[in-house]
Structure 1
Amino acid sequence: MGKGLLPPGGGDDDNIEPVDLKKALEERYLAYALSTIMHRALPDVRDGLKPVHRRIMHAMRLLRLNPDQGFAKCARIVGEVMGKFHPHGDQSIYDALVRLAQDFSMRYPLVDGQGNFGNIDGDNAAAMRYTEARMTEVATGLLEGITEDAVDFRPTYNEEDEEPAVLPGAFPNLLANGSSGIAVGMATSIPPHNAAELCDAALHLIDHRDASVADLMQFVQGPDFPTGGIVIDSRASILEAYESGRGGFRVRARWHQEDQGRGTWVIVVTEIPYGVQKARLIEKIAEHLIARKLPLLEDIRDESAEDIRIVLVPKSRTVDAGLLMESLFKLSELESRFSLNMNVLSRGKVPNVLSLKAVLVEWLEHRREVLLRRSRHRLGEIERRLEILAGYLIAYLNIDEVIRIIREEDEPKQVMMARWDLSDVQAEAILNMRLRALRKLEEFEIRKEFDGLSAEKKQIEELLGSEAKQWKTIGWQIQKVRRDFGPEDNKELGPRRTTFAEAPEHDLADIAQAMIEKEPVTVVVSQKGWLRALKGHLSDYSQLAFKEGDALKTAFHAQTTDKILIFTTGGKFYTIGADRLPGGRGHGEPVRIIVDMENDQDIVTAFVHEPKRKLLLASHQGNGFVVPEDDVVANTRKGRQVMNVKAPDEARFCFAIEGDHVAIIGENRKMLVFALTEIPEMTRGKGVRLQRYKDGGVLDIKCFTMAEGLSWRDSADRTFTRPQAELTEWIGNRAAAGRMVPKGFPRTGRFG
């Protein structure tokens, strides 16, 4: 073993400390989790910022990048932040800085960027050496009063400097700009809101401390995304989300129909949901178009310049624009959900999910704390200045004596302090006075300043002593913010961008059909339960190939927009969209792969679903009932149990009802004819007895119209029809035994 590889102490076990792995992991993981929650992922409820954003703001203030000053290179800002405050990668700091400058990411940008700061297509910003930045008015609002002891400062990571623990936050930033982050075991997601509405709600809250969230929602209607869009949630669900701090909002793109002349039109999308990259959105829609999932859409074009303009061209002028958009909302990010999870650091320490009211209350409490601290700081400054001014006045009144002491005494400071009972500060100020300040006029100036400061001191002391005055001052500050960022004075940032609407009601079946291209197919079902759909309507089924030992059970024509119903011997119905059937190449797929069908069951029949039809179901032992076809459609792979059968009985017949009578033949070759009205209509069950047998079961059933007579076909394909008069001896009541079939009836015992 090499010398350098020995543990401390030269290899004996004295210096090795046993550690319980579970305990060590728990401690260290908890430390990591807490640091992620506190110092990275969750915003502070008071200023709405995470540490990286707060540090960027603080560094920009130190670099004096105010809105009225020039810009500085982003590389310089990032260097300042990284070197002094934020010991993490430069790219992560720059990414955070870039986001603060993007008007499509931030409802109220905190950084005024110059250069390429990325775009809504998802393109990245230019490198930090090319871009420049300075603060916006919003950022200066957040920092307002930071030099006046408004907030606590703490040492930076290397303890060489100090950074603010939180910003004064005169702007309601948490809700106005929103926030999102994933910590350990918790996440946050807050949408942006309208600052003017938040200010109105806060002012209402100052006057009515017991206001409910519902009261505040008269002012805060809901999210206000920088990219606009339409929120299509009900007021009740929005209220519930704000009350609990958890929920979500469905945001849709804003679109309108644009006339192209000669009856043609296109749809133009002008706003897309927040957080969606435009290029990616268009790519996705184009993919669906190529995959033929959008049969109503012909083409999509991006004609955006500064503003968003996505043009959707319909297949034909007869297309319903609403339906086309509904199919796009279902398939693409033209409709997206923004989740609400107001998980923030309450009082800067405790992660907590807060309601709308709780967030505003904490912000107002912070504003009051800032006001008190700034007032006390100002009071201290005034008192120090008044002390100095009092000393100056004494000096002016005894100016000749002061000059004599300074000229003649060895320790003038001590002499003056003893002579006029001055404090050390006053004596020092007098000694530091300039000769030019000895003018006669100066005394008048000092008295004026002294009186002014005395009046201000009285005001501040009154403010500190009265809670009502404090809230009045905070209200005045909030009104100023509302003026600066409200729709009246700030035409660019002020007006609400996101509106609210109910989603238009469209039939779900219509939307589903709008998403499938309508094409003719032939559905083929084999005896062993293999399904496939061949393109086009075939007339000759003799050429179809099957696996060895398999053969055709049934084949029928359909459209890709149809639903195919499959009925099994276990009495279950399954529903499969014709567009989801495997193609005609090969032998298709077993039905058990497509739906959850039991192994001991077989397919009785398959057919195209036609709403409003009625079906007659019958089992081998002769039980049956009528069921409306709309009641057998299944929405899941598990299917729907409609006919209850117990082994050894099984479902054998299912066909659409036509006519007014039923003819049934048993395996004993006895036939019974009775009125269809004797069979009850049910949605599920065992059914009633159709024909009585000693043993055996049903061989065949047929529905027919008595006026036209009962017909059957023999083995030579000839058709025979018996009118009502000749059927008299077979006509009876349901559940009778019946009589032997008429002469000339096929030997198979079936109606053909």
Structure 2
Amino acid sequence: MTVHTPPPEGGRIVDEPLGEALSRRYLAYALSTITNRALPDVRDGFKPVHRRILYAMHQMRLNPQAAARKCAKVVGEVMGGYHPHGDASIYEALVRLAQDFAQRYPLVDGQGNFGNIDGDSAAAMRYTECKLTAAAQLLLEGIGENAVDFRPTYDDQDEEPIVLPAGFPNLLANGSSGIAVGMATSIPPHNAAELIDACLKLLETPETTTEELVAIVPGPDFPTGGVAVESAASILDAYQTGRGGVRLRARWETEDLGRGMWRVVVTEMPYQVQKSKLIEALADLIENKKAPLLADVRDESAEDIRLILEPKSRTVEPEVLMESLFKLSDLEVRFPINMNVLDATGTPGVLGLKACLVAFLDHRREVLIRRGQWRLERIEKRLHLLEGLKLVFLNLDEVIRIVREEEQPKARLIERFALSELQADFILDTRLRQLARLEEMTIQKEFDELAEELAGLKAMIASPAKQTKLLALGLQDVRKALISPRRTTMGDAPDVSEVSIDAFIPREAITVILSERGWIRAARGKVDDPSELKFKEGDDLAFLVPAFTTDKLLVAASDGRIFTLGADKLPSGRGHGEPLRLMIDLDESAAIINVLAHQPGAKLLVASKAGYGFVTPEDDALAQKRGGKQVLNGDMAACLRVSGDHVAVIGENIKALVFPLEELPEMARGKGVKLQTYKQGGLADITVFNAEDGPDWRDGGDRRRNWPDWRDWLGKRAAAGRQGPRGLRKFR
């Protein structure tokens, strides 16, 4: 790569291709974001900001037994010494570490207002206080014993740990989430006791498969509880690949009110769902008639969650009510699993459950060895000093003489007893009262104990089997300290597929009103006089459709699609309604061709501007998505219900043609067959009628006219037809 050096004489303009300059700088930014901000380390589960907060609090001696200090003091310490970013982001990270509804095992003991599950923010840092929890102590244990590497801080004034010793698998226990450049991470919390049991299994049998581990760790364990309804196969796949998701539902129970009345009480919320926003969303569903089975929602929570859901009718099954709300609201959420982490070398990658636990165990083994070596060095130093003291006791009178009479007692002691300089200094610094006979026994006892410990440490450092045994014993102690019952239960969603939620919608007569500009509403009952309807300035009536609240509306568009709307979900007819395009994904360039109330078993005739068409069953035209269903390939000119045995068409060339309906094929989707042949122009209008009654058509005004001699225009489908009756332009 070409290196572009700055111009001489202090100039600051560099002649460099813009693409090269941008790519190099953006790459540096991306790497910084990935490694220093967004992705956690697989060994301790922390991003730099969380690691720095805990280490700063450890340096401030804010252990669980100490008095809490102001959060502003902690944030200032972190910002000034370790984390060169804003105080707001540091305090936000600290607050999250203290929230028991955000962390499965809180690492900061917060005193004051640290926010709540309603979404209220924490008080300002000058009002709150904090200290470390016992769980945080487990993650920091041994940090002063050379257990991990340190690096200089951003200003080279101090040092900070690259990773914490991590006494338990915090990455999976508390989870993590973050968005980097081009990658993201999303790891749910788990039960620490289950994770440690899985680690013990791996220590005992390293060949343990992910499937065997899932038998021990069946799924995430969220701090807010709830019910995980993801299938076991899906969770296994997520733990094997490191990618997937888990569906989490609110926990609820039915409360009997007597006389057949009941209500639902929600006692646990899905993880990261704010209760206040959920209540607002449920209230909006009721107001907009999108939750036909729910009558009311209210919050009776105090210390515990208690969300009351009132059904519209006691004949509704509670399971059916809840299943409808799970689909419509955040009473059910899908928590994504994307275990994208930094490994021991700082390389990002997606790891499965087993790989994460193995990485944690490898880290713990390294911490154990390094702490053992640190302790070994200090024992050897202490034994060296004790050996010097033992020589003193054997030659106490001579030592006292040398100290009293010699001008350079240190040099003389070294020469006389072959001591090291360290031993000589230690002997000279020893108080005379410590040289009593009793102290000699104490020294010998200490020497023997340390010698035994030294032998044990050397054996441990040299033996992987002994290391594994010590790791297992340490994890068992941690398990006792962190053990807590599982909060999230694993379950299956009840099968209510045979129960139609629409069956519980009250059947009421309405009139659907659609304006020319696409505003839709539903007026109660029948509209006797359309002229009395009010519209926005410049707007007017386009379609007036009688229906019932239990009906599905079919909305045909000029782009060939048919959309489906629930009549019960339409806005009230008191105002101007809402834009139809907010309810369906209709292109701005597409026009509404027709609006019909769906009749099960009925059939539709669809025709294109080019003069092609076919018959399609209405049931096949129903769409489940906002995007509708593509029925006609081409520009739709007509969509009408089949109610006769003959078809009459008229082209833009004013030529008319009548032919039997049976000549049209029945299709679910396609272009159709040719209805009428045109040299120029296309289809103007089409109708279906009974031969006994004959067709009628509308003249230039609103008057209907009969067509008694229609048989004169009877011919074969796809013919050109002949000039229509005077005044015939449209049938409808």
The TM-score, its normalising length taken from structure 1, stands at: 0.79
Deviation (angstroms), 1:622: 12
User: What does 1:323-402 align with in structure 2 at a 5 Å threshold?
Assistant: 323-347=320-344, 349-402=346-399
Q: Which SS does the other structure have where 1:146 is aligned?
A: coil
Contact 1:300 1:312 in 2 (8 A): yes
Larger Rg computed on CA atoms: 1
Q: Deviations over 1:359-404 (max 9, x none)?
A: 1111111101101101111111111111111111111111111111
In the alignment, the residues of structure 2 paired with residue 286 and residue 108 of structure 1 have an alpha-carbon distance, to the nearest angstrom, of: 33
Deviation (angstroms), 1:612: 3.6
Q: Aligned AA for 1:520? A: A
In the alignment, the residues of structure 2 paired with residue 344 and residue 307 of structure 1 have an alpha-carbon distance, to the nearest angstrom, of: 35
Contact 1:567 1:654 in 2 (8 A): no
Q: Percent of pairs identical after alignment?
A: 53
Contact 1:42 1:183 in 2 (8 A): yes
Q: Does residue 1:211 correspond to 2:199, yes or no?
A: no
In the alignment, the residues of structure 2 paired with residue 186 and residue 449 of structure 1 have an alpha-carbon distance, to the nearest angstrom, of: 56
Q: Which SS does the other structure have where 2:457 is aligned?
A: helix
Q: Deviations over 1:331-377 (max 9, x none)?
A: 33222222222222211522222221221111111101101101111
Q: Does residue 1:655 correspond to 2:650, yes or no?
A: no
Residue of 538, 544, 555 corresponding to 2:526: 538
Residue of 607, 610, 614 corresponding to 2:596: 607
Contact 1:197 1:220 in 2 (8 A): yes
Deviation (angstroms), 1:303: 1.1
Contact 1:558 1:608 in 2 (8 A): yes
Residue of 445, 449, 452 corresponding to 1:452: 449
In the alignment, the residues of structure 1 paired with residue 376 and residue 480 of structure 2 have an alpha-carbon distance, to the nearest angstrom, of: 28
Match of 2:493 in 1: 503
Match of 1:744 in 2: none
In the alignment, the residues of structure 2 paired with residue 258 and residue 686 of structure 1 have an alpha-carbon distance, to the nearest angstrom, of: 56
In the alignment, the residues of structure 2 paired with residue 326 and residue 531 of structure 1 have an alpha-carbon distance, to the nearest angstrom, of: 31
Contact 1:582 1:588 in 2 (8 A): no
Cα distance change of structure 1 residues 615 and 454 upon mapping to structure 2, 3 Å threshold? same
Match of 1:294 in 2: 291
Deviation (angstroms), 1:16: 0.9
Q: Which SS does the other structure have where 2:144 is aligned?
A: helix
Cα distance change of structure 1 residues 600 and 176 upon mapping to structure 2, 3 Å threshold? closer
Q: Which SS does the other structure have where 1:538 is aligned?
A: coil
Match of 1:145 in 2: 142
Cα distance change of structure 1 residues 419 and 570 upon mapping to structure 2, 3 Å threshold? closer
Deviation (angstroms), 1:269: 0.8
Cα distance change of structure 1 residues 497 and 290 upon mapping to structure 2, 3 Å threshold? same
In the alignment, the residues of structure 2 paired with residue 531 and residue 59 of structure 1 have an alpha-carbon distance, to the nearest angstrom, of: 60
Residue of 529, 550, 553 corresponding to 1:564: 553
Deviation (angstroms), 1:293: 3.1
In the alignment, the residues of structure 2 paired with residue 442 and residue 13 of structure 1 have an alpha-carbon distance, to the nearest angstrom, of: 74
Contact 2:57 2:131 in 1 (8 A): yes
Deviation (angstroms), 1:670: 12
Q: Aligned AA for 1:141? A: L
In the alignment, the residues of structure 1 paired with residue 490 and residue 38 of structure 2 have an alpha-carbon distance, to the nearest angstrom, of: 30
In the alignment, the residues of structure 2 paired with residue 160 and residue 625 of structure 1 have an alpha-carbon distance, to the nearest angstrom, of: 81
In the alignment, the residues of structure 2 paired with residue 276 and residue 583 of structure 1 have an alpha-carbon distance, to the nearest angstrom, of: 34
Contact 1:618 1:653 in 2 (8 A): no
Residue of 88, 113, 117 corresponding to 2:114: 117
In the alignment, the residues of structure 2 paired with residue 529 and residue 332 of structure 1 have an alpha-carbon distance, to the nearest angstrom, of: 31
In the alignment, the residues of structure 2 paired with residue 468 and residue 373 of structure 1 have an alpha-carbon distance, to the nearest angstrom, of: 16
Cα distance change of structure 1 residues 248 and 20 upon mapping to structure 2, 3 Å threshold? farther
Deviation (angstroms), 1:64: 2.1
Q: Which SS does the other structure have where 1:147 is aligned?
A: coil
User: What does 1:428-439 align with in structure 2 at a 5 Å threshold?
Assistant: 428-439=425-436
Deviation (angstroms), 1:77: 2.6
Cα distance change of structure 1 residues 714 and 354 upon mapping to structure 2, 3 Å threshold? closer
Name structure 1 gaps, 5 residues minimum: 1-11, 487-493, 692-696, 705-709, 720-733, 738-747
Q: Deviations over 1:78-119 (max 9, x none)?
A: 333333323333333232222211111111011122222222
In the alignment, the residues of structure 2 paired with residue 557 and residue 294 of structure 1 have an alpha-carbon distance, to the nearest angstrom, of: 22
Deviation (angstroms), 1:169: 0.6
Cα distance change of structure 1 residues 594 and 584 upon mapping to structure 2, 3 Å threshold? farther
Deviation (angstroms), 1:30: 3.5
194-203 vs 153-162, greater mean Cα deviation = 153-162
Q: Aligned AA for 2:14? A: V
Contact 1:529 1:602 in 2 (8 A): no
Match of 1:14 in 2: 9
In the alignment, the residues of structure 1 paired with residue 556 and residue 606 of structure 2 have an alpha-carbon distance, to the nearest angstrom, of: 10
Contact 1:625 1:687 in 2 (8 A): yes
Match of 1:480 in 2: 477
Contact 1:46 1:348 in 2 (8 A): no
Contact 1:292 1:517 in 2 (8 A): no
Deviation (angstroms), 1:465: 1.1
Cα distance change of structure 1 residues 432 and 288 upon mapping to structure 2, 3 Å threshold? same
Contact 1:595 1:639 in 2 (8 A): yes
Deviation (angstroms), 1:252: 1.4
Match of 2:229 in 1: 232
Q: Deviations over 1:436-476 (max 9, x none)?
A: 12222222222222222111111111111111111121111
In the alignment, the residues of structure 2 paired with residue 78 and residue 569 of structure 1 have an alpha-carbon distance, to the nearest angstrom, of: 61
Contact 1:645 1:651 in 2 (8 A): no
Cα distance change of structure 1 residues 348 and 310 upon mapping to structure 2, 3 Å threshold? farther
Contact 1:574 1:638 in 2 (8 A): yes
Contact 1:192 1:224 in 2 (8 A): yes
In the alignment, the residues of structure 1 paired with residue 559 and residue 34 of structure 2 have an alpha-carbon distance, to the nearest angstrom, of: 56
Deviation (angstroms), 1:496: 0.6
Deviation (angstroms), 1:191: 1.3
Cα distance change of structure 1 residues 485 and 570 upon mapping to structure 2, 3 Å threshold? closer
Q: CA RMSD in A?
A: 4.7
Deviation (angstroms), 1:540: 4.3
User: What does 1:194-205 align with in structure 2 at a 5 Å threshold?
Assistant: 194-205=191-202
Q: Aligned AA for 1:235? A: A
Q: Aligned AA for 1:633? A: L
372-381 vs 122-131, greater mean Cα deviation = 122-131
Q: Deviations over 1:648-702 (max 9, x none)?
A: xx97874258xxxx5789999999999x8x99865457889999xxxxx999866
Cα distance change of structure 1 residues 689 and 107 upon mapping to structure 2, 3 Å threshold? closer
In the alignment, the residues of structure 1 paired with residue 303 and residue 631 of structure 2 have an alpha-carbon distance, to the nearest angstrom, of: 59
Q: Aligned AA for 1:221? A: P
Cα distance change of structure 1 residues 463 and 238 upon mapping to structure 2, 3 Å threshold? same
Contact 1:616 1:656 in 2 (8 A): no
Q: Which SS does the other structure have where 2:476 is aligned?
A: helix
Match of 2:712 in 1: none
In the alignment, the residues of structure 1 paired with residue 424 and residue 239 of structure 2 have an alpha-carbon distance, to the nearest angstrom, of: 61
Contact 1:199 1:482 in 2 (8 A): yes
In the alignment, the residues of structure 2 paired with residue 412 and residue 591 of structure 1 have an alpha-carbon distance, to the nearest angstrom, of: 99
Match of 1:9 in 2: none
Contact 2:557 2:590 in 1 (8 A): no
Q: Deviations over 1:489-522 (max 9, x none)?
A: xxxxx111111222233449945787x8865322
Q: Which SS does the other structure have where 2:101 is aligned?
A: coil
In the alignment, the residues of structure 1 paired with residue 519 and residue 123 of structure 2 have an alpha-carbon distance, to the nearest angstrom, of: 56
Q: Which SS does the other structure have where 1:430 is aligned?
A: helix
Cα distance change of structure 1 residues 430 and 608 upon mapping to structure 2, 3 Å threshold? same
Q: Number of aligned pairs?
A: 695
Deviation (angstroms), 1:197: 0.9
